[in-house]
Amino acid sequence: MKIKGFAMMVVCSLILLGCKKDNFIEGNELMIALSEGIGVDMHNTWTRSADLPYFDISSYSNIKSVVMAVSDIKTNDETGNDLIGEASFELYDITNDKPIENSIVISDDIENNSYKSSANIINDIPRQKIKLGIRISSDGDFSASCSHIYLILSR
């Protein structure tokens, strides 16, 4: 019976999320694609709406962990050459106009930033229907970008 209920929740979730092909289940995890191929110019902060109509954590039962994952973080100089720099990606609650605590992902001062994730933000996400966004910051002489940003819900 538990599997049947979970399967129904997944089907409903995928319908609500617009059946995006980037959302998939692996084991007890649901990956929700928030954004693809975004970035920010040097010395800038930018907030972009996530690629889903809304999000409501209370629609998902028995979730124990929620993290934001950022893949393939790049920092580049003004001519496009790779360089080492520190950029930040943060989940933003557009509905209530504030960042979601503990969701920040910061690239390291190293070259390999292929996959980084936030702390568990299960207790920091509002228990209501909200519009999510991503706030990206570059406070140096470099632009910052990533290939994908996901919200990963785990049971």
Q: What is the pLDDT of residues 28-48, one digit of tens each?
A: 899 999 998 888 998 989 898
**pLDDT tier at 80, thresholds 50, 70, 90:** confident
On whether the CB atoms of residues 106 and 88 are closer than 8 A, the answer is: yes
The pLDDT value given to residue 4: 47
How confident is the model over 66-91, as a mean pLDDT?
A: 90
- Domain boundary assignment for the chain: 2-154
The residue type of 108 is D
The pLDDT value given to residue 19: 40
The pLDDT value given to residue 84: 84
Give phi and psi for 125, each to the nearest 5: -80, 130
pLDDT at residue 54 greater than cutoff 70: yes
Q: If DSSP codes are grouped into helix, strand and coil, which group holds residue 3?
A: helix
Rg (CA), the chain: 16
> How far is residue 118's CA from residue 109's CA, in Å, rounded to a whole number?
17
The pLDDT value given to residue 7: 47
| Full-model pTM | 0.78
Architecture of domain 2-154 in CATH? Sandwich (2.60)
pLDDT in tens, 136-145: 999 889 988 8
